[in-house]
Amino acid sequence: MSLELNDALGELKPSAIRRFSALAAQTPGCVSLTLGEPGEVTPASIRRCVSRSLDEGKTHYPPNNGTMALREAIAARCSNTGLLVDAQQVIVTNGATEALFSTLVALLNPGDEVIVPTPAFVLYQSIALLARARVVTLDTSEDGFQIDAGRLARLVTPRTKVIVLTSPNNPTGCVLDEKSLDAVAELASKRDFYVVCDDVYEELVYSDELRGHGFARLHPELSDRTVVVNSFSKPWAMTGWRLGWLTAAPEVVSQIAKVHQYAVSCEVSFTQDAAVTALATDTAPMRERYRARRAITLDALKRMGLPCVEPEGAFYAFPSTEGLCTSDEEFCERAIREAGVAVVPGSVFGCPGHVRISYATDDATLEEGLKRLAGFLRDLRG
Ligand SMILES: Cc1ncc(COP(=O)(O)O)c(C=O)c1O
């Protein structure tokens, strides 16, 4: 008899994004536009703080929820942008990944339902499965990747516990409009469920009018049921540092803190001063670089004749590949084999018939990848 493991693991699949990146890596000369990872290294001013912290001997366990200096800096940043929280409401986490893990494990009971608007980043569903919750997907592809109030209302049941909002979205780059956010707020208030906002791309919104208009700022009356998750990974090119944070109402944060404490204890001690410096580092130069790459990508897609809802944020484009191959997976496998360019199938995010192109990479890689994609499409169409 073999010893049993947690049955939820049987339903968890290894990340398909990684599968396509690995396939690209094994294919000699393949250009990869798969990973949501900034091409640049972290700015030097932030990197230098780590050696200073080590020289100062900051090598001991820091407080579980993060150093007070970092929590205060995060709270100040949130408050300056209209999200009123104090340092006690902040937990410094191991990236947004752990923030989402600790939050969902703290909020969910077995059998609870989690509404995930799709296309969506794969992490939410995997964590919900581990928490023995049921994932209910809300297809937004017919609504320009916005949330339709009627469609959402039909999915809410007495077991609905959480909705997860990602704006800007991975993989579409779309920013949820006020109508979508109001629809969520009305139902969350009437039907009593939590709203978990994955705001990791909030700094990477290309229109000044749309930046900083996330759910939590627009609906402060729901602060008792809103958890905001954020990360240093994307706007400051700090993916490898594994640094993020979450904010929530005091009574919610104190419960999430228990999961955080037993899962990871605390974040690395000598990176926390660097994180304070990151928060004081202007994200505009990074945003401008991505804005330029977005223009290059959208222009190339237009010339290729691939329809794409214009991404207003993050660093992804999500064009339709409907009718070009028997499936989006086949499209991506053939693109790697036949043209030496890797992108990710939309079905990975619950939205077949599309592919995700990441333009987070450097300009030369992006231009070469797009050139190869154009050649692949010419061959496909004969
Ligand atoms: C929407 C979204 N949320 C969370 C994460 C995880 O971010 P972190 O590196 O902070 O764990 C990612 C990473 O790609 C993401 O795209």
- Domain with residue 232: its CATH number is 3.40.640.10
Candidate of 103, 123, 200 to mutate for ligand 1, largest count of ligand atoms within 8 Å of Cβ? 200
Of the listed ranges 7-11, 125-129, 182-186, 200-204, the least confidently predicted one is 7-11
Number of independent structural domains in the chain: 2
CA 326–ligand 1 middle distance (angstroms): 30
- Regarding whether 241 and 323 lie in a shared domain, the answer is no
Cβ of 121 less than 6 Å from ligand 1: yes
pLDDT level of residue 299 (50, 70, 90 thresholds)? very high
Residue showing tokens 């989690």: 114
CA 133–ligand 1 middle distance (angstroms): 21
The structure's pTM equals: 0.96
pLDDT (tens digit per residue) in 241-294 = 999 999 999 999 999 999 999 999 999 999 999 999 999 999 999 999 999 999
* One-letter identity of residue 39: G
Q: How far apart are CA 19 and CA 342, in angstroms?
A: 11
Where is the domain boundary, 279, 309, 341? 279
Q: How far apart are CA 288 and CA 274, in angstroms?
A: 23
Which atom number of ligand 1 is nearest to the Cα of residue 94? 11
Candidate of 37, 123, 167, 358 to mutate for ligand 1, largest count of ligand atoms within 8 Å of Cβ? 123
Q: Are 75 and 60 in contact (CB under 8 A)?
A: no
Q: Is the pLDDT of residue 1 over 80?
A: no
Helix axes 95-107, 123-130, angle to 10 degrees: 40
Where is the domain boundary, 259, 279, 299? 279
CA 97–ligand 1 middle distance (angstroms): 6
- Regarding whether 313 and 269 lie in a shared domain, the answer is no
Residue 234 lies inside a defined structural domain of this protein: yes
Nearest CA owner, ligand 1 atom 1: 170
Residue 157 lies inside a defined structural domain of this protein: yes
pLDDT (tens digit per residue) in 176-205 = 999 999 999 999 999 999 999 999 999 999
332 token code pair: 């991506």
pLDDT of residue 212: 82
- Regarding whether 215 and 71 lie in a shared domain, the answer is yes
Where is the domain boundary, 247, 279, 311? 279
Q: Is the pLDDT of residue 381 over 80?
A: yes
Q: Are 267 and 62 in contact (CB under 8 A)?
A: yes
Q: How far apart are CA 128 and CA 291, in angstroms?
A: 34
Mean pLDDT value across residues 78-101: 95
- Regarding whether 214 and 111 lie in a shared domain, the answer is yes
Cβ of 169 less than 6 Å from ligand 1: no
Distance, C-alpha 217 to centroid of its chain:
19
- Residue 214 is part of which domain span? 48-279
pLDDT (tens digit per residue) in 197-236 = 999 999 999 998 888 889 999 999 999 999 999 999 999 9
- Regarding whether 56 and 23 lie in a shared domain, the answer is no
Cβ of 233 less than 6 Å from ligand 1: yes
Query: What stretch of H or E contains 358?
Result: strand 355-358
Mean pLDDT value across residues 54-61: 97
- Regarding whether 161 and 104 lie in a shared domain, the answer is yes
- Regarding whether 298 and 264 lie in a shared domain, the answer is no
Residue 3 lies inside a defined structural domain of this protein: no
- Regarding whether 54 and 128 lie in a shared domain, the answer is yes
Residue 2 lies inside a defined structural domain of this protein: no
- Domain with residue 304: its CATH number is 3.90.1150.10
29 token code pair: 């000369």
Residue 302 lies inside a defined structural domain of this protein: yes
Q: How far apart are CA 186 and CA 160, in angstroms?
A: 14
Residue 332 lies inside a defined structural domain of this protein: yes
Q: How far apart are CA 229 and CA 132, in angstroms?
A: 21
Residue 151 lies inside a defined structural domain of this protein: yes
Helix axes 68-80, 272-279, angle to 10 degrees: 20
Distance, C-alpha 315 to centroid of its chain:
11
- Regarding whether 178 and 121 lie in a shared domain, the answer is yes
Q: How far apart are CA 88 and CA 78, in angstroms?
A: 13
Of the listed ranges 14-23, 165-174, 339-348, 349-358, the least confidently predicted one is 14-23
Q: How far apart are CA 77 and CA 82, in angstroms?
A: 9
- Regarding whether 302 and 157 lie in a shared domain, the answer is no
Residue 147 lies inside a defined structural domain of this protein: yes
pLDDT level of residue 140 (50, 70, 90 thresholds)? very high
Among the listed residues 85, 14, 64, the one whose alpha carbon sits nearest the alpha carbon of residue 258? 64
Mean pLDDT value across residues 134-149: 97
Q: Are 228 and 253 in contact (CB under 8 A)?
A: no
Cβ of 99 less than 6 Å from ligand 1: no
331 token code pair: 């499209």
